Chains A and B, each alone.
Chain A
């Protein structure tokens, strides 16, 4: 794992009207690291992710990209840095085929005309490097199952060669088999050296693929744990606040210091 995180958030504050949604949140994502972002509903996970994606500009704090401070105020800023976000509602066009969906908004062209052959070839290459299997890249997305749509949505995020991929509850609506496929895919993202932020409520998924778990509670950091040495119960305790005391806070500090 590299020393300088690809993306680092330092002391992020975000307020919506009277609600202080994020208070001094820190988060670091390294290349080839899967960071699971967990917390109860209303903990601020989605808001934090949206500040990275440029949907909600931050009020206070610093965003560092490969060590340099950057400003993200629009979705385009985030995309041009190399952040790709897969939202929970996948936002695919049902009537378009897989290739068209993958390249929607950044079609390959030759002499001003869509280059279908090049797009189809790149789509096939991309899907095969991710070991994604789809009946055909030329069938409408409507014909795909939920798991296949999820992997297409993730593959779509990768078309722009991002460095950080944000997955918002990628397995929430999936069956056992499809969940396994998506988790496989997350592991392949790590193998390719991408940093991944995974939002999930499912502790089994988190334990299965994440390297680090960052817990948010009521808009604040409530501990960052290495998955390998942390038990299920410790994470749950951090999410619910059952151990929100001096001991855990100290532990969180020491874990951060050792990284």
Chain B
């Protein structure tokens, strides 16, 4: 069930099913095995199912939700004014760039591989855009920047898939090489400020200041979320399959509605709905659709779950690998443009420092497994929220030095990987991995 959409990541909301870890000794009598667990109706059933899933190591997004709450409470106690609309806006401003890069990382992690070059690719894309933006039309420069990222991603993929160099090594070489290329592209200049009127500037500076924008989007999202579930549930009911009961759909929708409306209210207290958030959400929706609802996405999961099985099923494993690295490079480049936008222009050190670790950590913290085959793109959103909240909180405590931030980011990443490893081991012992 790792592919179940749990966009909210909040509530224990599994679909009705009858799982059991024991092997039912099935005879030839087609009757329900008495040992199978059937979930009780109503909230007691949800609670039981939730506890059972936790015990068998299917924790999903729970750690990150708990983490967000802990971070919120701790910084609120320390600073006295952490949970504010200003911080919501600031966190969004700096989270979208790394968040989009983390979406690319999720694709790569689903294959059970890693892309260490995403930070350097982002930096290079930023500098390619910056260099061309001074002479060429804005849109051409932006496309060149994104194209450079796609090209480098495809290069990683080809070297990995066709030559067989481990992805770790290919992208480690890219990490160094593209950072060097970035400095070379920048030439004498250490920074290129965003040209006035460039769309890249708008990426993180433009706000839909009309209050209706944020609330409207929130309502549309909630309505679409409910409608999609209701349609799916209706089709399943018509086909005689287990379906989500109305109560569960309403519960899920309710949780989501509260979250997005509170967020919309917060944004409206400040400058309005940020364009960057709209683009980030659009990227999340599209990639989520691709991974869960298309053959391509199914093939990505299959390659992550078993290469030999995927190959025997007729899946072109090389093509999947190359395309996934291309997606990672492309999203890295898009994220790079957001970074450039947030920092005021192309920069020699753009995408350097702990940027790479932030992206990988975000994907893992959000619940995407490092071991391949399990995860969802929403983990990029949740993970980057956690990390950027920590950064924002530390800034408020005047602990801006890299020293503290690096240590805390490192510790959070390690904790996330430990949770991933332990949950995987628990799943194994519960016969679920």
Contact = CB atoms under 8 A, between A and B. Distances in A.
Contact of A114 (B295, B306, B374): B295
Contacts of B270: none
B239 A93 contact: no
B325 to A, nearest CB: 20
Interface stretch (B90-98, B218-226, B307-315): B307-315
A94 to B, nearest CB: 5
B387 to A, nearest CB: 26
Interface stretch (B19-27, B73-81, B358-366, B408-416): B19-27
Contacts of B431: 142-143, 145
B427 A138 contact: no
A177 B28 contact: no
A7 interface: no
A17 interface: no
Interface string B9-41: 000000101111101111010100100100000
Looking at chain B's contact residues, the main secondary structure is: loop
A144 B23 contact: yes
Contacts of B20: 135
Given A131-B28, A140-B2, A184-B28, A96 B36 contact: no
A84 to B, nearest CB: 11
A172 to B, nearest CB: 18
Contacts of A101: 309
Interface range, A side: 35 or more
A151 B259 CA distance: 44
A121 B294 contact: no
A76 B427 CA distance: 36
A121 B239 contact: yes
A200 interface: no
Contacts of B427: 142
Interface in A126-164: 128, 131-133, 135-136, 138-140, 142-145, 147-148
A143 to B, nearest CB: 5
B23 A104 contact: no
Contacts of B309: 90-93, 101, 104
B236 interface: yes
Nearest to B289: A113
A148 B23 contact: yes
A181 B26 contact: yes
Contacts of B52: none
B295 A109 contact: yes
Contacts of A112: 294
Given A95-B373, A100-B298, A135 B24 contact: yes
B162 interface: no
7 contacts: A89-B308, A100-B3, A100-B302, A117-B232, A117-B235, A135-B18, A135-B20
Given A136-B18, A143-B430, 9 more contacts: A95-B373, A100-B301, A104-B309, A104-B313, A117-B239, A135-B24, A138-B15, A140-B2, A143-B19
Interface of B: 1-3, 15, 17-21, 23-26, 28, 30, 33, 36, 232, 235-236, 239-241, 292-295, 298, 301-302, 304-306, 308-310, 312-315, 372-374, 427, 430-433
The 7 A-B pairs of least Cβ separation, nearest first, read: A145-B23, A105-B313, A95-B373, A93-B305, A95-B305, A133-B26, A91-B309
